[in-house]
Amino acid sequence: MTNLPLCAAIYARTAISDAGIQAQIQTCETFARQRGWTISAVYADPGCLGRHTRHPGICRLTHDALAGRFDIILCEERDRICRNLRAAMKFQAQMAKAGIHFWTVTEGDMTDALPTRKDFMRLLDRLAAADRQGRSHDPQQHA
């Protein structure tokens, strides 16, 4: 059996047109080369807010991923895919189901890092407790 180098696609996105796109791409290229990955394509959405995954670059990335054109999606940070948690989780789950690994320069392999319902409930409990504690120590609440 031969060990073929993994093939990665880079994705970069910024809310301001072209601001930081090249820096994100260069950071990802360096990260991929250090791991011996080949880069099959670079997808970018300059000037696009991260509210959803319907921008042209990420749509092409998704299409090519599902067509099996690469093994890994690499971004500088997880929120480059999308800042909407639900949309990002849906995208990540879709890629995992297709056998595509999801990596970020800042956090490494995120393929199996999908938060669970239990994680969200724990987070909500902590936020509620902190809110209750904050109100009980607020002198304005007792005036």
Tell me how far apart the alpha carbons of residues 48 and 60 are, in angstroms, rounded to a whole number.
15
Which tokens hold the place of 71? 């093994």
All structural domains of the chain, each given as residue ranges with its CATH number in brackets, are 7-112 (3.40.50.1390), 114-143 (no CATH)
Tell me how far apart the alpha carbons of residues 70 and 89 are, in angstroms, rounded to a whole number.
20
Average pLDDT value for residue range 36-60? 92
C-alpha pair distances (Å), 118 with each of 3, 84, 115: 38, 19, 8
Q: Which residue has the higher pLDDT, 46 or 125?
A: 46
* 54, pLDDT greater than 60: yes
First to last CA, the chain: 75
Instruction: Tell me what pLDDT residue 93 has.
Output: 87
pLDDT confidence tier of residue 138, bands split at 50, 70 and 90: low
